[in-house]
Amino acid sequence: MTPIAREHLELTRRYFLKLGAASACALPSLPLLAYDNAIAKEALAAAIAKLEYLTTQDSFGTVERGDPLPYTHPPEKLREIGLVRETWKLEVVGDPAAPPKFEASLSRELGTALDWGGLMTLAEKHAVRFLKIMTCNNGGSPLGMGLWEGVPLRTVIWLTKPQADIRRVFYYGYHNDDPKQLFQSSLPIGRVLEDPPGGDPVILCYKLNGEYLSGKRGGPVRMIVPDAYGFKSVKWLTRVVLTNAPAANDTYASGNNDIDSQMKTFARFVSRPAKVKVGEAVPVTGVAQVGISGLTRVQYWLSPQEVEWPADDPYFTKADWKDAELLAAPESWGGGLTEGKLPAGTLGFDAATGRPLTWPMRNTLAHWAVLISGVAAGKYDLRCRTIDANGIAQPLPRPFPKSGRNSIEQMPLTVEEG
């Protein structure tokens, strides 16, 4: 099971319990024994797996490079290269190839680089926390769901007294001083200085789920870009360059990746049986990533395998899709937070009640579940998809890979004679 799968079970168990109780009175003709079996199975799995909304730091999926991996150096070396909090430093300098107009470099050479103490002083006044899902644009499903804390990148950029001729911000992770291991990304200065309505800032991130970032997660400090795929969130951050260059120079631009893509909305299965007996309900659960266009519905479609689908409808738009249930925001967020509580002041949450202002929230995930009943014996393909807040069904409006993999997921399901 993936980390998100495990954390998801706890939520869905409650959903099935509620559903089971309600249907016992409302629909007395349903095969209750089968329902009970399904409920029991879910409850058991949940007790074993203890699911949560947030992914703990250690159970995140990881996409990394470097030989050796920067955080695996011995402690002495880590101190020397600035990959522990006590010795970490961030440079913010101008690009000599496309010079910006600004007053004050934060540089190692001048002794003005931002250190951990400086960052923590800024944090006292400027720290923010928000939820963001981490997904590799080429990965089939999310790597993890986090509560990230940091200081907005713009707070540090303003310290350099920028004036003009700045079009982009390039930024770099530690790479063993080997140009071949360099990992870099970039953003338009506009995105750094300003957030879209309801959006979160780009941050110099030092905490995940209330704990300091581990080396593996990119600590002491990584970039977190809330609305972008993972490659914009550079780990082991050491250097920011202000530039008047007009174009991106992201490492991910090689490999045919679309480096301007914002997150897409798409659904994935988490748990579903491969086989049931006729009369047994089919419990299905999943996650949906909520991209730039939001999320209004998750749907499923059970199609007999022997039916061939017309080639001119590759996204199954004419299929008999049915709604699954989108689960509400959890009461307990998990992820190792004390009592599962989000800290006060988390962006997008009501200060008085601690509840989210909108749900589902962009750049996070939502859980979904459905209990499918009355399926005849046979072999099926089970598919799921999202409908975004513009009413557009996955994988449209952006079906191409390399800007975020969002193809419709498909799982086989066999319903056996009783």
Ligand X SMILES: Nc1nc2c(c(=O)[nH]1)N[C@H]1C(S)=C(S)[C@@H](COP(=O)(O)O)O[C@H]1N2
Contacting positions for Mo ion (CB under 5 A): 63, 136, 230-231
H-type alpha helices, 268-383 = none
240 binds ligand X (CB under 6 A): no
Output 145 or 382, the one with its CB closest to Mo ion.
Answer: 145
Distance of CA 56 to the CA centre of its chain: 13
Q: Which backbone phi and psi does 72 adopt, to 5 degrees?
A: -95, 0
71 binds ligand X (CB under 6 A): no
Output 185 or 299, the one with its CB closest to ligand X.
Answer: 185
Q: Residues with Cβ < 8 Å from 401, sequence gap 6 or more?
A: 138, 407
DSSP reduced 3-state for 132 = strand
Whole-number Å distance between alpha carbons of 401 and 387: 18
88 binds ligand X (CB under 6 A): no
Which residue in this structure is represented by tokens 């260059």? Answer: 245
Q: Which backbone phi and psi does 181 adopt, to 5 degrees?
A: -100, 5
Report the nearest approach of ligand X to the CB of residue 59 (Å). 11
Q: Which listed range, 34-42, 47-55, 62-70, 384-392, lies at the site for ligand X (CB under 6 A)?
A: 62-70
Residues 6, 8, 89, 217: which binds ligand X (CB under 6 A)? 217
Whole-number Å distance between alpha carbons of 171 and 250: 9
161 binds, among ligand X, Mo ion, none (CB under 5 to 8 A by kind): none
Q: Residues with Cβ < 8 Å from 115, sequence gap 6 or more?
A: 88, 89, 90
143 binds, among Mo ion, ligand X, none (CB under 5 to 8 A by kind): ligand X
Q: 11-40 mask for ligand X (x: CB under 6 A)?
A: ------------------------------
316 binds, among Mo ion, ligand X, none (CB under 5 to 8 A by kind): none
Report the nearest approach of ligand X to the CB of residue 188 (Å). 19
Output 259 or 302, the one with its CB closest to ligand X.
Answer: 259
199 binds, among ligand X, Mo ion, none (CB under 5 to 8 A by kind): none
Report the nearest approach of Mo ion to the CB of residue 63 (Å). 4
Whole-number Å distance between alpha carbons of 126 and 149: 10
Output 135 or 394, the one with its CB closest to ligand X.
Answer: 135
Distances (CA, A) of 397 to 297, 348, 389: 15, 26, 12
362 binds ligand X (CB under 6 A): no
Cross-strand bridge partners of residue 146: 132
Q: What angle do CA 396, 401, 404 make, to 5 degrees?
A: 80
Pair of tokens at residue 82:
């600035």
Report the nearest approach of ligand X to the CB of residue 183 (Å). 4
DSSP reduced 3-state for 238 = strand
171 binds, among Mo ion, ligand X, none (CB under 5 to 8 A by kind): none
Q: Which backbone phi and psi does 390 adopt, to 5 degrees?
A: -90, 5
Cross-strand bridge partners of residue 129: 149
Report the nearest approach of ligand X to the CB of residue 181 (Å). 9
Output 46 or 237, the one with its CB closest to Mo ion.
Answer: 237
Q: What angle do CA 110, 188, 139 make, to 5 degrees?
A: 105
235 binds ligand X (CB under 6 A): yes
131 binds ligand X (CB under 6 A): no
Report the nearest approach of ligand X to the CB of residue 62 (Å). 4
Indicate the residue type of 103.
E
62 binds, among Mo ion, ligand X, none (CB under 5 to 8 A by kind): ligand X
360 binds, among Mo ion, ligand X, none (CB under 5 to 8 A by kind): none
Output 112 or 135, the one with its CB closest to ligand X.
Answer: 135
148 binds ligand X (CB under 6 A): no
Report the nearest approach of ligand X to the CB of residue 320 (Å). 35
CB 390 within 8 A of CB 295: no
DSSP string, 233-302: S-SSEEEEEEE---S---GGGGGG--TTPBPPPEEEEEE--SEEETT--EEEEEEEE--TT---EEEEEE
231 membership: H or E segment, kind and range: none
106 binds ligand X (CB under 6 A): no
Output 63 or 411, the one with its CB closest to Mo ion.
Answer: 63
Q: Residues with Cβ < 8 Å from 267, sequence gap 6 or more?
A: 286, 287, 288, 289, 298, 368, 384, 385, 386, 394, 409
Residues 11, 131, 205, 234: which binds ligand X (CB under 6 A)? 234
187 binds ligand X (CB under 6 A): no
Name the residues that contact ligand X, by CB under 6 A. 60-65, 134, 136, 143-144, 173, 183, 217-218, 230-231, 233-236
